[in-house]
Amino acid sequence: MAIATEKKRNFVLVGHNGSGKSLLVSSILKTAGLVDRISTKFVDTDPIEESKGSSINSHVFTFTWKDHLLTVIDTPGFGDFIADVINSIFVSENVVSVINAVAGVEIQTERTWQLAQEMSRPILVFVNQMDKERANFENALESVKSAFECKVVPLVLPIGAESDFKGLVDLVGMKAYVYEDGKAKPVSIPSELQKKVEETRLKLLEDIVESDDALMEKYLEGQEVDEAELRNALVKAYKSGAVVPALCGSAEKGIGIDLLLDTIVELGANPKEAQPLRAVLESGEEIEISPSETEPFCAYIFKNVADPFVGRVSYIKVIAGTVRPGDNFVNVNRGTSDRISKLYFARGKEQVEVEEASCGEIVVLPKLREGSVGETLTHKDRKLKIVPPQFPEPMFSRSVNPKSKTDIDKINNGLARLAESDPTFKWEYDPETGETVVSGLGTIHLDVMIEKLKSIFGVEVDVGKPKIAYRETITRKAIAEYKHKKQTGGHGQYGHVKIELEPLPRGAGFEFVDKIFGGAIPKNFIPSVEKGVIEAMKRGSLAGYPVVDVRVTLFDGSYHEVDSSDIAFQIAAIQAFRKGMEEARPVILEPIMEVEIFCPDEVAGDVMGEVTSRRGRPQGMEPAGRGMSKIKAEVPLAEMLDFSGRLSGITSGRGYFTMKFLRYQEVPPNIQEKIIQERKQEQQNA
């Protein structure tokens, strides 16, 4: 039976590794009656996840709760797998930030919170692991308030602490529950909690009415605000982001899970209340689209799984319309058509076949012929591309080469399929060195992708050392000329170009300027010159890295009526660019990262010294709370490859850091010479 869009809730669990998200999903599944026990084995089903004991993929589960259709997405807690987190937030209307009751806010909490705010998603806090030693609900909420400067409103108070944690007081309904085997049993509010409950509920009431002018006026006049009014105001305040409701519980013991689901149903935004999405029409016009039941079918691919038995398995969010097995659709990004064979609701390893999917639902499509994460599927009468969220650029690279020459096709197919599933994973084959180079967000990311290559596609590979995405550029103007002239009997080849190279500001990319006058080179050959320049820029003259931030002006040349051709002008342009670059004082550029390092206060000076020794430029230090300092710095990526181990040593395992690409910057001469020599050695050994 079809469920009204107003009764659909999509929510994503985000947070730091170790906050218990996967166990929380398992506890949700048990509470909803889908499994008979609480175990991460129902969630982390990938063999690599089982071996690591942590999630490395997002996991989707759809089920019903109190006549509502709920879809929960569990996300990885490692920063290397942030692409899954970004896409999961993108397709969810509600974000549940899962926080470790012992540790409070951690680095991935901050990162995912920022993503949720950038996408204008309302946030609910669930403080997990309340049964652990040193767990403290109030401290955890204080860490949220200080980290995000938001109005956190606790909806519950815990009954008992640490190993004696056994239940909750619902502050909105003013009821208390204790739990046995995950089942809630109503009890009286414990007398020792009575005063604290009254004080906290009064604060809850004041925080909620502040977001509603009419209710505020009523409250200030001394009139009573009843429970129904309070609940309505809470719903509005949550959806607008005015407050962050907070719950707590224990996923392991099944405490508070029913209240979490009830809160998602009661407060949660439905798909129709989602922010409009940016989309681009075939004409190039950018529009906004809102979830709709009546518009033609439109869906977004947010997750792909490469299944060794089934093939490509795609997870889509239906943005508009309805779709059924047998329906045809268009992949607008690729301009191809396909047909839906079957539709499923996702439940981990198990899937539930459905007869249709409609607005707001997340479903699984098996065996699509083509389709990558971030692409749009639509009805043929409404072709548009949904603008995907922004993903970080991969900055770590390694070479991977099959141990057996017969596996070359298998490795290319495997890497292509893995790239379809992760927009932060790239690969390319370098014909000059004969190497296949994979790039990702970090060493863990690349290790996992290489493991997947082996486990899913059966390819054994030799892995080379991490490579940095260096670039080359020029530092002064130069003029170059090249005449390509070849006679081989019959038609010859003739192309003659004169170009000027000049440097552009950092990050400007490439500009091609046509200043040909008087027909020295016919117009139809100008694109060939530009194509040749672009080809030449793929390999710089110093160490063979791509060339950036250059303007090339074509200002003269000549042609032959018979022997000139596209390929002749491409060759002339390639050779002219290479000559010009050698005279334009080329330099190597390296990626500079914006780094934030969190460390105990007592070793902050040592960490700062380590950063400086790595050619880093400290940008400041500030308190991060709980005896920790945050150091901001700009550091070359090449110096960060082994930083994690060193930081762990200095901080006895308590330090951690995040980094993102900032800009490219010229390498010091002594470092440049070393890079050139290493690159030459690589190419000789290839």
Cα 179 to the chain's mean position, in Å?
A: 37
3-state DSSP assignment of residue 632 = strand
- pLDDT of 374 > 90? The answer is yes
Average pLDDT over residues 620-648: 87
**How close are the terminal C-alpha atoms of the chain, in Å?**
61
The CATH code of domain 398-467 reads: 3.30.70.870
Average of per-residue pLDDT across 541-545: 92
pLDDT reading at 50 higher than 70: no
- The residue with tokens 């992949």 is 331
Q: What is the pLDDT of residue 44?
A: 66
At 32 the three-state DSSP class reads coil
Nearest to 574 by CA among 607, 531, 603: 531
| Residues 195-239 pLDDT 10s | 999 999 999 999 998 888 888 888 888 888 888 999 999 999 999
Sequence letter at residue 632: K
DSSP notation for 268-311: PPPGGGSPPEEEEETTS-EEEE--BSSSPPEEEEEEEEEETTTE
pLDDT score of 653 more than 80? no
CB-count exposure of residue 126 (10 Å: 0-12, 13-18, 19+): buried
Tell me the pLDDT tens digit for each residue of 102-150.
989 887 888 899 899 999 999 999 999 999 999 999 999 999 998 888 8
CB atoms within 10 A of CB 538: 13
Report phi then psi at 457, rounded to 5. Answer: -110, 0
Does the domain made of 589-671 have the CATH classification 3.30.70.240?
yes
What CA–CA distance (Å, rounded) separates 77 from 74?
9
| pLDDT band per the 50, 70, 90 thresholds, residue 409 | confident
Instruction: Read off the pLDDT of each residue in 346-368 and give the average, rounded to a whole number.
Output: 91
What is the per-residue pLDDT for 107? 77
Structural tokens at position 84:
């899954």
Give the whole-angstrom CA distance, residue 388 versus residue 391: 9
Start and end residues for every CATH 3.40.50.300 domain found in the chain = 5-273
User: CA-based diameter of the chain, in Å?
Assistant: 104
Quick one: pLDDT at residue 72?
Answer: 96
The position carrying tokens 């405490």 is 255
Per the prediction, the chain carries an average pLDDT of 90
Q: Are residues 150 and 242 in contact, defined by beta-carbon separation less than 8 angstroms? A: no
> pLDDT tens across 322-339, in order?
999 999 999 999 999 999
421-445: average pLDDT:
81
Mean pLDDT of 632-647: 88
Q: How far apart are CA 337 and CA 357, in angstroms?
A: 19
Could you tell me how far CA 155 lies from the centroid of its own chain? 30
* 639: DSSP letter: G
Instruction: Give the pLDDT score at 348.
Output: 74
Average pLDDT over residues 477-501: 90
Mean pLDDT of 428-441: 76
Reply yes or no on whether the pLDDT at 685 is more than 80: no
Structure tokens at 482: 């090249």
Ranking 179-193, 454-468, 542-556, 625-639 by mean pLDDT, the lowest is 454-468
Q: What is the DSSP secondary-structure string of 64-100?
A: EETTEEEEEEE---SGGGHHHHHHHHHT-SEEEEEEE
CB of 440 within 8 A of CB of 446?
yes
pLDDT interval class at 673 (50, 70, 90):
very high
Of the listed ranges 6-15, 48-57, 123-132, 438-447, the one predicted with least confidence: 48-57
Q: How confident is the model at residue 311 (pLDDT cuts 50, 70, 90)?
A: confident
Q: Which CATH number fits domain 5-273: 2.140.10.10, 3.40.50.300, 3.20.20.190, 3.90.850.10?
A: 3.40.50.300
Tell me the pLDDT band of 686, cut-offs 50, 70 and 90.
low
DSSP label at residue 104: B
Q: Concatenated DSSP letters for 542-561?
A: TTSPPB-SEEEEEEEEE--T
CB of 411 closer than 8 Å to CB of 461: yes
Tokens of 511: 């500009």
Of 430 and 338, which is predicted with more confidence? 338
Helix (H, G, I), strand (E, B) or coil at 213: helix
- Model confidence at 405: pLDDT above 80: no
Cα–Cα distance measured from residue 156 to residue 257, given in angstroms and rounded to the nearest whole number: 12
- What pLDDT shows up at residue 333? 94
Q: Could you give the CA distance from residue 12 to residue 305 in angstroms, rounded to a whole number?
A: 19
| Lowest-pLDDT choice from 60-69, 137-146, 163-172, 427-436 | 427-436
Q: Where in the chain is the domain with CATH 3.30.70.240?
A: 589-671
Report angle CA 43, 44, 49 to the nearest 5 degrees: 175
Fold of the 472-584 domain: Ribosomal Protein S5; domain 2 (3.30.230)
The residues that bridge with 620 in the sheet, in sequence order, are 632
> Per the structure block, which two tokens stand in for 407?
């596996």
pLDDT at position 47 is 65
Q: Where in the chain is the domain with CATH 2.40.30.10?
A: 277-386
Alpha-helix runs per DSSP H in 186-292: 194-209, 213-220, 227-240, 257-267
CATH class of residue range 277-386 = mainly beta
Q: What pLDDT digit, counting tens, does each position of 158-189 carry?
A: 999 999 999 999 999 999 999 998 899 999 99
Look-up of token digits 């793929």: 538
pLDDT at residue 441 is higher than 90: no
Residues of the chain with CATH 3.30.230.10: 472-584
> Which among 337, 436, 425, 431 is positioned nearest to 379, based on CA atoms?
337
The residues, ordered by sequence, that sit 6+ positions from 136 with a Cβ below 8 Å of its Cβ are 101, 102, 161
pLDDT at position 28 over 60: yes
